[in-house]
C-alpha cells in the first residue's frame, strides 16, 4: 500500500472526542454575529446539495427535484428546506427570507459593504436551525446563521443580499430560470464594465494553492469579448458537460481547466470556472453553465495560459 | 432509536440492528464514503459492508460514540476500495488531492508490505493531533478525516479558503517534522 494511503488510514484512528469536537466546530465569532451551534457536520440542509452538489444523499423517494430544461431556459427548482437525519449535505450559512433561501456565496472579511453597499435593513435571521429542527421550524427568517441582512446597493434583493458582519454575500440560487447568460451575468451580477480587475488561476494552482492568482493585464479586448459571449450564450445544465465517467468521478476533475475572478468595483468577486469544450459556470450557482463559441473560448484560454504561465 | 438501544440490538444479535443503523447513520456513512470514492454505487456498497463489520465487532465491542465507530469503519472500507480502484492509474477527485497533500509528509511510494508500524503511526498521529491548537486540529480533521474539500471547510469555519490552505500546509509541516523526529519516516 502507498505510504500516503497508510497515513490517510492512520488519521482514521483519531480519538472520538476530537472527532466530535471537529463535527461541532463553529465559525469564529465576530463581535456581533452569532453562528449557531451546528452540531453535526454530516447532517445539514438539502440546500447544500443544491449549491455544492457533490455530497448529497437521501432516500430515493426523497430525491430533490432536479434541474430541468424547457424553451424558457434552464430551471433550478425552488429549494424546499428540509433537514433531518435522512439528509446529508454540507454545512452552509443560509437563511429564509420572503420564502426564498439565501445561501452564503462568499465572505470578504473586512467591512467592504459597511458604509456604501449595505443599503436597506431587511431583517435579522434567527440562526436557530440545526439538524434537529423540525420541518415546521423552517419559517420566515429562520436559518443557520444569526445576522442582520440588507439589500445590496445595485443588486436585485430577490437574488443577492448581504450582511455587514464579515461582508458576507448571500445568493438565492434556486427557484430561478436562466435562459441567456445575460440573465445571470448582466441582469443579476452586472458584470459588464463593472469590474476593476480580473485575476486568473489554473485549476491545479487553485486546488493546490501552488501559485497565486495573477492579474490579467493588457487584455481588455479579450475580456470584453469574453463577457459579451457570456451574456449571449445559452444556459445548459452543468451535467451536459461531456466527460468520460468511467475514468473520472466528477466534471471538476475531468474537464475544469481555469478559474477567473472578476473583482467588482464594490469589492465582491465573481468567481467563474472554465471547463474544456467552452463551458463556463458561476461558482455561486453550480448546477448550470453556459457554452461559449469556440473562437471566443479559445482566445480566452490562450490569454489565461499566457497569464498563468 | 438512540445509540444505546441500537448497540443493545447488536448485543442481542437482533438483525434489526442493521436496519436501525442504516436509518440513523446511513446518510452519515454514505457521505463519508462518497467524499472518498465519489461513486454512489461504491459508496452504498461500503455502507452495506459497514453494518456487516459492525455486526462482527459488536459484541464484544461496545462503542462509546456510535457515529465515530461507524464512521471509522466506513472510512477504512472506502479508503481500501479507493486504493484498489486506483492501484493501476492516477485517480481523480478530492481523495486524490488529499493523498497528494499527505504525500508531502511521507511520500507516496508503493511498498509490498506496510511501510509503517500501523499502531505506532496511529499513536504518533494522535499525539500530533493533541499537540495542535483546537482550531487547527479541527481543520486538519475536517480535511483528512472527513475528506471535506477546502472550500467546504472554509465555509464551515467561516474563513477564507486561502487561510484554510495555509493552516493545512502548516499542519502537514508539523506532522512531517514529528514523524521524522520519531523515526517513522
Scored b (16 or more CB within 10 A) or e, B140-152 reads: bbbbbbbbbbbeb
Interchain contact A217–B (C-beta under 8 A) = no
CA distance B14 to chain A (A): 23
Interchain contact A2–B (C-beta under 8 A) = yes
What pLDDT, on the 0 to 100 scale, is given for residue A208?
67
Check A209 against B108: CB less than 8 A apart: no
pLDDT, tens only, B6-52:
999 999 989 899 999 999 999 999 999 998 998 888 899 999 999 98
- How, if at all, do strands A160-163 and A168-171 pair? antiparallel
Check A85 against B24: CB less than 8 A apart: yes
pLDDT, tens only, B42-59:
899 999 999 989 999 998
* Cα–Cα distances in angstroms (integers) from residue A23 to residues A145, A303, B148, in the given order: 17, 42, 12
> Does the structure show a pLDDT above 70 at B139?
yes
- Judge contact between B136 and B143, C-beta under 8 A: no
What pLDDT, on the 0 to 100 scale, is given for residue A177?
93
Task: Give the separation between CA A150 and CA A169, rounded to whole angstroms.
Answer: 10
What pLDDT, on the 0 to 100 scale, is given for residue A209?
60
The pTM score is 0.53
pLDDT, tens only, A114-161:
667 889 999 998 877 665 566 667 778 888 778 899 999 999 999 999
What pLDDT, on the 0 to 100 scale, is given for residue A122?
94
Q: What cell does A152 get? A: 445590496
Partner residue facing B79 (CB), from A8, A15, A58: A8
Scan for cell 443493545, then name that residue.
Answer: B8
Q: Find the residue in B nearest to A89 (Cα).
A: B31
> Does the structure show a pLDDT above 60 at B164?
yes
> Does the structure show a pLDDT above 80 at A218?
yes
Enumerate the residues of chain A whose CB falls inside 8 A of the CB of residue B109. Answer: 2-3
Interchain contact A204–B (C-beta under 8 A) = no
Check A249 against B160: CB less than 8 A apart: no
pLDDT, tens only, B63-122:
988 999 999 999 999 998 888 777 655 445 788 889 989 998 888 777 766 667 788 899
What pLDDT, on the 0 to 100 scale, is given for residue A130?
60
Q: Find the residue in A nearest to B35 (Cα).
A: A55
Q: Find the residue in B nearest to A251 (Cα).
A: B93
> Does the structure show a pLDDT above 80 at B160?
no
CA distance B31 to chain A (A): 6
Scan for cell 500501523, then name that residue.
Answer: B118
Enumerate the residues of chain A whose CB falls inside 8 A of the CB of residue B92. Answer: 247-250, 253-254
The C-alpha R_g of chain A, in whole angstroms, comes to 20
Among A35, A46, A54, A55, which would you mutate to test the B interface (most chain B Cβ atoms within 10 Å of its Cβ)?
A: A55
In this structure, what are the phi and psi dihedrals at residue A50, rounded to the nearest 5 degrees?
-70, -30
Angle at A277 between CA A238 and CA A53, to 5 degrees: 20
Task: Give the separation between CA A75 and CA B147, rounded to whole angstroms.
Answer: 31
Partner residue facing A28 (CB), from B76, B100, B158: B158
Amino acid at each position: 500500500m502507498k505510504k500516503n494511503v497508510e497515513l490517510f488510514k492512520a488519521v482514521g484512528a483519531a480519538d472520538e472526542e476530537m472527532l466530535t469536537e471537529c463535527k461541532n466546530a463553529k465559525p469564529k465569532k465576530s463581535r456581533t454575529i452569532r453562528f449557531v451551534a451546528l452540531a453535526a457536520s454530516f447532517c445539514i440542509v438539502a440546500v447544500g446539495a443544491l449549491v455544492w452538489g457533490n455530497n448529497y444523499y437521501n432516500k430515493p423517494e426523497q430525491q430533490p427535484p432536479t434541474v430541468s430544461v424547457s424553451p424558457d431556459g434552464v430551471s433550478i427548482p425552488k429549494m424546499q428546506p428540509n433537514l433531518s437525519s435522512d439528509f446529508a449535505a454540507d454545512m452552509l450559512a443560509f437563511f429564509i427570507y420572503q420564502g426564498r433561501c439565501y445561501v452564503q456565496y462568499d465572505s470578504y472579511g473586512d467591512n467592504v459593504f459597511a458604509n456604501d453597499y449595505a443599503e436597506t435593513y431587511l431583517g435579522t435571521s434567527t440562526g436557530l436551525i440545526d439538524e434537529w429542527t423540525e420541518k415546521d421550524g423552517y419559517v420566515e427568517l429562520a436559518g443557520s446563521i444569526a445576522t442582520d441582512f440588507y439589500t445590496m446597493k445595485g443588486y436585485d434583493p430577490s437574488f443577492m443580499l448581504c450582511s455587514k458582519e464579515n461582508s458576507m454575500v448571500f445568493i438565492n440560487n434556486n427557484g430561478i430560470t436562466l435562459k441567456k447568460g445575460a440573465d445571470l451575468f448582466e441582469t443579476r451580477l452586472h458584470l459588464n464594465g463593472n469590474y476593476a480587475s480580473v485575476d486568473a488561476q489554473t485549476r491545479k494552482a487553485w486546488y493546490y494553492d501552488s501559485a497565486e492568482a495573477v492579474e490579467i493585464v493588457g487584455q481588455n479586448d479579450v475580456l470584453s469579448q469574453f463577457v459579451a459571449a457570456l451574456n449571449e450564450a445559452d444556459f445548459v445544465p452543468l451535467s451536459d458537460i461531456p466527460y468520460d465517467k468511467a475514468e473520472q468521478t466528477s466534471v471538476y476533475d475531468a474537464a475544469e481547466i481555469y478559474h477567473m475572478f472578476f473583482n467588482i468595483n464594490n469589492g465582491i468577486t465573481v468567481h467563474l470556472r472554465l471547463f474544456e469544450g467552452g463551458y463556463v459556470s458561476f461558482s455561486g450557482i453550480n448546477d448550470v453553465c453556459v457554452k461559449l463559441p469556440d473562437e471566443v473560448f479559445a482566445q480566452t484560454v490562450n490569454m489565461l495560459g499566457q497569464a498563468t504561465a | 432509536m438512540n445509540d444505546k438501544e441500537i448497540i443493545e440490538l447488536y448485543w442481542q444479535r437482533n438483525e434489526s440492528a442493521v436496519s436501525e443503523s442504516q436509518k440513523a447513520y446511513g446518510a452519515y456513512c454514505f457521505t463519508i464514503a462518497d467524499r472518498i470514492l465519489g461513486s454512489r454505487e461504491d459508496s452504498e456498497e461500503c455502507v452495506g459492508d459497514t453494518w456487516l463489520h459492525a455486526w462482527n465487532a459488536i459484541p464484544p465491542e461496545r462503542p462509546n460514540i456510535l457515529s465515530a465507530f461507524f464512521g471509522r469503519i466506513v472510512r477504512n472500507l472506502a479508503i481500501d476500495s479507493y486504493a484498489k480502484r486506483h492501484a493501476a492509474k492516477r485517480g481523480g477527485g478530492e481523495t486524490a488531492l488529499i493523498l497528494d497533500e499527505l504525500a508531502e509528509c511521507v511520500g507516496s511510494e508503493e511498498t509490498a508490505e506496510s511501510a509503517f508500524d500501523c499502531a505506532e503511526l496511529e499513536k504518533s498521529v494522535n499525539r500530533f493531533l493533541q499537540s495542535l491548537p483546537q482550531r487547527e486540529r479541527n481543520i486538519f480533521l475536517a480535511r483528512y478525516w472527513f475528506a471535506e474539500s477546502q472550500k467546504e471547510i472554509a465555509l464551515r469555519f467561516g474563513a477564507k479558503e486561502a487561510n484554510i490552505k495555509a493552516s493545512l500546509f502548516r499542519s502537514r509541516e508539523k506532522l512531517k517534522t514529528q514523524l521524522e523526529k520519531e523515526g517513522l519516516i
